[in-house]
Chain A
Amino acid sequence: MKKEMLRKAFGIAMAGVMAISMVGCGGGGSSSAASETKSSAAPEASAPAEPSSAPSEAASAVESAVSAASEAGTEKSDITIGVSWCAIESQMWAEYQNTIKAECESLGVKYTESVAENDVQKQNQQIEDFISQGVDAIIIAPADGEAVVSAIQECNTANIPVIMANRAAGEGCEVYATISSDNKAMVKREIEYIVSITPEGTKYRCLELVGSLTDVNAIARQEGFEETIAEYPDMFELVSTVPTEWKGDQALAGVQNTFSADDTVNFIFSPSDALLPSIISGLQQLDKYAKVGEEGHVTLVTFVGAADAVSAIREGYVDVVSVQDATNQAKLCVQAAVDAAGGKEAQDYTDAGFEVSTQNVETDYADFTGY
C-alpha cells in the first residue's frame, strides 16, 4: 500500500515537473497507454457468440468463440488493436477497460488505448492517430455515436475494421461489428418486474433521470422507461424528467428539486448506477432513504449492475437493477477485433442483460456481486 502511494506520489511529482516545463505551451490532453503482451502465439477468434441472458451463459459463449479460434491457430503477436475510450467514468467502463486489457494479453495481441474524456473532437483525432499508427483494428467506445462517423469513414478508407463498444455508430459509415446492450428492452423488463410485484391500486409518481442527451444508450433507456410507463397510465405518472449529463451533482439537484416541488414522488428511475450514490445521498438528506417494504420507501430502479447497486439491493434499499454484462461485451469486442484483423466475418452482438432484484438477489444471483 505504502509502495503504491509512493509510486503515485513519484508519478505526480514527475507529472508536475513536466507540467511546469510544458505550461508555456499550454500542454494537456488525453491520457494514453500501451501494453504489449509477452506470449507470441494465440488462438484466432471466431464470430461473436449468441446473445446470453446470464453471466454463466455469456462466459460460455466467449469460451466457445475462443475455442473455435484455437482451431484456426493463427499467429497473433503481430496484431495491434487500438481502443478509443469515450471516458472511464463509471464502474462499467472500468470493467470494460480491465477486461479488454486482460483479454488482449491472454490472446497475445498488442494493445494501445486513448481516452477522449468525452470530447468528440479529441476522440476523432485519437482515432486518426490510430490510423496513422497502422493498427489492425480499432475498438471504439464513442462519446457520441453520430460525431464519430467521420472518423470511422476515415477508418473505412484506410481499410481498418472498426468495432463499436457498447454504443452504436450513426449512419453513413461501415462498422465491422457492434457489441452493445439492448437498453430499451432491458429497461422495459425491469419496469415490467416492478409492475408484476406491485399491488393493485398502487400509484407511482415518478422522477426520471436522464443521462447525456447525446448518448444513444441514454436515449434508449429514456424511451424504454417512458414507453413502458405509458402502458400503465393507472400505475405510473411521470412528475419530472431531469437531464444529468451523467453527473452526480445534477442528479442530486434533480432529486432535491423534484421532492421540493412534490413530496409525494415515490419512484426514481436512474439510467446508470454511476448516479446512484448521489440519489442515495439526496434521499438520505431528505430522510426518505427507507428499505423495500418500509414506510416511505422510494422505489429505486437503476441500470448497469455496479457493485454498490447490487450491494444496495442486498441491503434492501434498491428494488431492481438491469445488468449489462460489461465483462462479456469487452471480451467479444476483442474477439471481433482479432477476427477482423484476420479477415474473418463477424456479426453484431446484442447483450440481452438480466435483472437482479430484491426478490432474486439471494437465490438466482447469490454469487453475483456486480462490478
Chain B
Amino acid sequence: MEKVTARAGKTADGKRAKELFMDYGIYVILIAMIVFFTVQKPNFLTIGNILLILRTSSVLGIACVGMFFVLIVAGIDISVSMNMYISAVVGGTFLNNLGMPLPVCFVASCLCGLVIGSINGFFVTKVKIVPFIVTLATYSVARGMALFLTNQQMMFLDNKVMTLASAKFLGISAFVFIFLGVVVIAHIVLTCTQFGRQLYACGNNLQGANKMGINGPRTVFFAYMICGALCGIAGMLSACNLGVINPNFSQGDEFVVISSSVIGGASLFGGKGRVFPGAIIGIVMVQAIINGLTMIGASAYVYTIFRGVIIFLAVMVDSIKFSGEIR
C-alpha cells in the first residue's frame, strides 16, 4: 500500500516538474543562453547590446503579435512574410513614385496587409478552407504580385526612410517604441476586451463558442485581418530599415515568426498565448541567439543548426503541452 502511494506521489511530482518545465522552461533556457553568451563575450550583456537586440526584434516582433491573434483562434498564417513583401512594395511605391509622406506610406502598407489578411480570413471562415492551404496560396499570390510590380528588381527607397531608421528617443530606436506600442495595444485588446475573450473562446472550442452566442467566423475573420494589417506595418518598417526591397525580401521569415510565437507561449493548437510578455520573449530569444552567435564569431554553419533546433524545440514543447489537455 505504501509502495503504491509512494509511486503515485512520484508520478505526481514528475507531472508537476514536467508542467513547471513546460511553463517556465523557456525562461530557464533564456537565462542559460544569456549566461553562456555573457561568459563568452562580456559585452553581450550591455545596455547598448540589449537595446540593439530589441531593435532587431522589433520588425518581426510586430508580425509575431499578429501571428498571436491567428494562433489563438487555432489558425495559422503562412503568408506573413509575403504579406510583408507586397505591403512594403506598395508603401515603397507610394513613397518613390507618388512622393507621399512616410506616414501615408505606412497607412498604405497597413491597408494592403489588411486586405490580404481579410482574404485569408474570408476563405478560412466563409469557404471553410484549411488555413494552411489558404495562406499558402496567398503567400504565392502576394509574392507573385510583388515580383510583378517590381519587375523582379531591387526597389531602392527614397533616402528619407533613413530618418525613421536612425530616429532615436532617449537613446532608444523608434522601432522599439513602435513594437512596444503594438504589444501594449494588443495585450489590452486580448486581456481587457470582450473581443479578446472571444478570440480565446473560439480558439479553445469554436463550436462551443458559437453555441454560447459568439459569432465565431466573424471573430476568426478579424484575427486574420489584424494579423495582415500588422504584417503590412512590419513590412514597411523592414523596408525603411534596409533602405531597399530585394526580390528575396522577408523570404523565410514566416518560420521565424511562427516559431517565435510558439516559443513565446502561443499554441499551434489554439486558445493560448499572451502577447505580453510572450511575443517579446519569443522574438527576442531568437534574435538574441543570432546576436550572440555573431558576437562570439561562430561558424556560418552554426546559425542554420540553431535555427532548426529552435523551431524543433518550440513545436516539441507545444505538442507535449497539448497532449496532456482535454478539449
Contacts and interface: CB of A to CB of B under 8 A. Distances in A.
Contacts of B48: 260
B299 interface: yes
A23 B123 contact: yes
Contacts of B44: 261
Given A26-B136, A249-B250, A253-B56, A241 B165 contact: no
Given A23-B129, A31-B147, A281-B165, A247 B153 contact: no
Interface stretch (A89-97, A321-329, A339-347): A89-97
Given A15-B148, A239-B297, A253-B56, A261 B43 contact: yes
Interface string B236-248: 0010011110111
B284 to A, nearest CB: 13
A280 interface: yes
Interface string B124-160: 0001010001101111110111011101111010000
Interface string A221-264: 01000000000000000111111011111001110111011000
B301 interface: yes
B193 interface: no
B49 interface: yes
A222 B299 CA distance: 12
Contact of B148 (A11, A28, A89, A245): A11
A15 B140 contact: no
Contacts of B207: none
Nearest to B153: A94
Contacts of A88: 152-153, 247
B294 interface: yes
A43 B18 CA distance: 75
Contacts of B247: 87-90
Contacts of A172: none
Contacts of A94: 151-153
Contacts of A253: 56, 287, 290-291, 294
A241 B250 CA distance: 21
Contacts of B287: 253
A106 interface: no
Contacts of B248: 87, 89, 118, 245-247
A278 B241 CA distance: 8
Interface residues of A, number: 53
B162 A284 contact: yes
Given A28-B137, A242-B300, A281 B242 contact: yes
Contacts of B56: 253, 256-257
A62 B56 CA distance: 47
B194 interface: no
Contact of A90 (B59, B154, B242): B154
B178 to A, nearest CB: 15
Given A243-B300, A260-B52, A28 B165 contact: no
A26 B248 CA distance: 22
A22 interface: yes
B294 A249 contact: no
A201 interface: no
A19 B141 contact: yes
A257 B294 contact: yes
A29 interface: yes
Contacts of B301: 213, 243
B294 A258 contact: yes
A257 B243 contact: no
A274 B129 CA distance: 38
A213 B152 CA distance: 23
A243 B249 contact: no
Contacts of A222: 300
A105 interface: no
A28 to B, nearest CB: 3
Contacts of A249: 59, 238, 241-242, 250, 253
A296 interface: no
A252 B144 CA distance: 25
Contact of A274 (B151, B152, B154, B241): B154
Interface in A300-334: 308
A268 interface: no
Given A27-B140, A256-B52, A248 B156 contact: no
A103 to B, nearest CB: 19
Given A243-B300, A248-B249, A24 B141 contact: no
B249 to A, nearest CB: 7
Contact of A24 (B43, B129, B140, B246): B129
B177 to A, nearest CB: 16
Nearest to A93: B152
Nearest to B59: A249
Given A11-B148, A242-B294, A281-B162, A19 B137 contact: yes
A72 B238 CA distance: 54
A281 B148 contact: no
A328 to B, nearest CB: 21
B140 A210 contact: no
Given A12-B149, A23-B129, A261-B295, A245 B123 contact: no
Contacts of A247: 246, 248, 251-252
Contacts of A87: 247-248
A8 interface: yes
B36 interface: no
Contacts of A256: 52, 55-56
Contact of B141 (A15, A241, A246, A252): A15
13 contacts: A24-B129, A26-B133, A28-B141, A90-B154, A94-B152, A238-B297, A243-B303, A245-B248, A257-B294, A258-B294, A260-B48, A260-B49, A277-B244
- The list of the 6 closest CB pairs from A to B, nearest first, reads A28-B140, A277-B244, A261-B295, A257-B294, A243-B300, A88-B152
Given A11-B148, A19-B137, A24-B127, 8 more contacts: A23-B137, A24-B129, A31-B147, A87-B248, A241-B299, A249-B253, A261-B44, A278-B244
Interface of A: 8, 11-12, 15-16, 19, 22-24, 26-29, 31, 87-91, 94, 115, 117-118, 210, 213, 222, 238-243, 245-249, 252-254, 256-258, 260-261, 274, 277-278, 280-281, 284-285, 308
